């Protein structure tokens, strides 16, 4: 039976309110270091929450920090910190007068609340917690505020679905059960979903993705979802998304050490992003058609596992010399990229993957790496990243880099060593992009999960890239 995809229920909700604020309701108000102290309280760091009593009513003062540091994301951080406070201080309802901020700030605040309200506690024995609702009151612009709040709820629902599934360990989600979940999700969304199993993949010649899964008891799967678009978008060229979903990565025979093998359940985040974006597209009724392809495999060790020095034949026909079995993500994506170009004509092709440790070394946990063969697409994605604070940094793809992965006994090597590590990952994928295809690669290895709590993300999966891609798609409409 398919595994239920029910989203973990947040304990803080955000709703628009058409009725006046009842007497005594907990009021949320922003203040900054430039304001006069309220009840003797001066605004501290962004997101700091203080409870005060004004005229006999409780007020939550949420700091925006220093005015010269104030950006739209500050409101997202403030919302996240507020969600933390509300979860630690059980509250039935609170109220924000949206007249004090603009539309972009309101959207960011709502996103921050909903993102940081997420908790993955499915396997903990815990008492039930009452839901806290934040009511957004906007007497003079209730219609606009309602649209903003509705959009934030639907968008973050998709992000938190990705995070919920990302936290699931490999004994709960493997390529086969992920495909089952995808089928159930597609049925709920009312869109087409096709699953290519290992037999079909082998028959079509997809020897890269199937090789990665040979060491596992659960063989590889390729999940293909199709969203037809809405309104003026119906019948136009789709944007195609390709995601890496290694449901667990041991490194294969190039075995990871005992530290780096931990939390490899998050190596499926690129593929889960694709599923979440498909959900967001349906829920938000985006005009642009989408194709979503998830390349799923589990990289394990057994008598049947692939080895260093093996030579694989990819779906494209290119042969690949295996230097390390721990560079498996680019193998599954190579076949995914070939598949979508053979079967769909796309407006653009964007892949997302926790691809290299090198991008973490280069960019840390602040920005994701962007590599692309198209300046316009690169600029659009970068702008969407700045707008959502899911920021990108473009890395080069000069042809000179190919020398590092030119094959000795095959067409191409799957690794070029430590030098220019993230760039080489992108250069490898570029070999499977056909002339005329607008393509971008997002290496999200440093930002797909975080090792500690952040202002609007708890430790673990962040869903990085979903809000970015949705913003990019909305910009095409």
For 338, other C-beta atoms within 10 Å of its C-beta total 22
The separation between CA 102 and the C-alpha centre of its own chain, rounded to angstroms, equals: 26
Assess whether 126 carries a catalytic annotation: no
Distance CA 436, CA 463 (A): 30
Interhelix angle 466-476/142-167, nearest 10 degrees: 140
Q: Are 292 and 227 in contact (CB under 8 A)?
A: yes
Torsion from C-alpha of 192, 182, 224, 304, nearest 10 degrees: -150
Strand partners, 449: 461
* Phi, psi of 171, deg, nearest 5: -80, -5
For 14, other C-beta atoms within 10 Å of its C-beta total 26
Strand partners, 54: 57
Nearest in space to 212 (alpha carbons), one of 312, 318, 315, 358: 312
Distance CA 29, CA 163 (A): 30
Point out the catalytic residue in the list 81, 119, 330, 413.
330
Point out the catalytic residue in the list 141, 172, 230, 256.
256
Residue-by-residue DSSP string for 41-109: BPP-STT-EEEEEETTEEEEEEE---GGG--HHHHHHHHHHHHHHHHHS--SEEEEEGGGS-HHHHHHH
- E-strand ranges in 100-151 read 132-137
- DSSP state, residue 184: H
Assess whether 318 carries a catalytic annotation: no
Distance CA 352, CA 246 (A): 12
Q: Annotated catalytic sites, by residue?
A: 256, 330
């Amino acid at each position: 039976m398919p595994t239920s995809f029910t989203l973990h229920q947040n304990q803080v909700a955000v709703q628009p309110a058409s009725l006046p604020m009842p007497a005594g309701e907990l009021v949320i108000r922003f203040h900054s270091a430039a304001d006069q102290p309220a009840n003797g309280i001066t605004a501290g760091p962004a997101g700091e929450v203080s409870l005060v009593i004004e005229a006999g009513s409780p007020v939550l003062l949420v700091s925006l920090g220093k005015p010269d540091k104030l950006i739209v994301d500050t409101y997202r951080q403030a919302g996240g910190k507020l969600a933390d406070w509300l979860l630690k201080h059980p509250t039935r309802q609170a109220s924000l007068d949206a007249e004090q901020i603009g539309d972009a700030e309101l959207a960011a605040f709502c996103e921050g609340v909903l993102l940081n309200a997420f908790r993955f506690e499915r396997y903990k024995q815990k008492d039930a917690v009452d839901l806290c609702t934040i009511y957004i009151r906007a007497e003079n612009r209730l219609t606009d505020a309602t649209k903003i709040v509705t959009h934030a709820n639907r968008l973050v629902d998709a992000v938190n679905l990705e995070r919920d599934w990302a936290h699931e360990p490999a004994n709960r989600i493997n390529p086969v059960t992920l495909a089952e979940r995808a089928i159930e999700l597609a049925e709920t969304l009312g869109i087409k979903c096709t699953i290519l199993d290992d037999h079909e993949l082998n028959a079509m010649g997809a020897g890269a993705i199937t090789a990665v899964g040979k060491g596992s008891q659960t063989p590889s799967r390729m999940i293909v979802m199709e969203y037809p678009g809405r309104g003026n978008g119906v019948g136009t060229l789709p944007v195609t998304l390709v995601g890496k979903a290694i449901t667990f990565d041991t490194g294969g025979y190039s075995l990871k050490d005992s530290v780096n093998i931990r939390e490899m359940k998050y190596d499926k985040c690129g593929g889960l992003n694709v599923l979440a974006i498909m959900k967001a597209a349906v829920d938000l009724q985006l005009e642009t058609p989408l194709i979503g392809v998830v390349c799923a495999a589990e990289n394990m060790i057994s008598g049947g596992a692939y080895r260093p020095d093996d030579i694989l034949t990819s779906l494209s026909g290119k042969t690949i010399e295996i230097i390390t079995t721990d560079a498996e993500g680019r193998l599954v994506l190579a076949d995914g990229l070939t598949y979508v170009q053979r079967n769909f004509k796309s407006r653009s092709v964007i892949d997302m993957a926790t691809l290299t440790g090198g991008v973490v070394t280069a960019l840390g946990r602040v920005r994701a790496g962007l590599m692309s063969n198209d300046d316009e697409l690169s600029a659009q994605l970068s702008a969407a990243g700045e707008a959502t604070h899911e920021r990108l940094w473009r890395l080069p793809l000069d042809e000179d880099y190919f020398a590092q992965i030119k094959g000795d006994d095959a067409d191409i090597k799957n690794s070029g060593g430590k030098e220019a590590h993230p760039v080489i990952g992108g250069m490898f994928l570029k070999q499977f992009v056909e002339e005329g295809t607008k393509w971008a690669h997002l290496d999200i290895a440093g930002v797909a999960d975080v090792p500690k709590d952040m202002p609007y993300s708890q430790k673990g999966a962040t869903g990085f890239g979903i809000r970015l891609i949705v913003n990019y798609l909305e910009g095409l409409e």
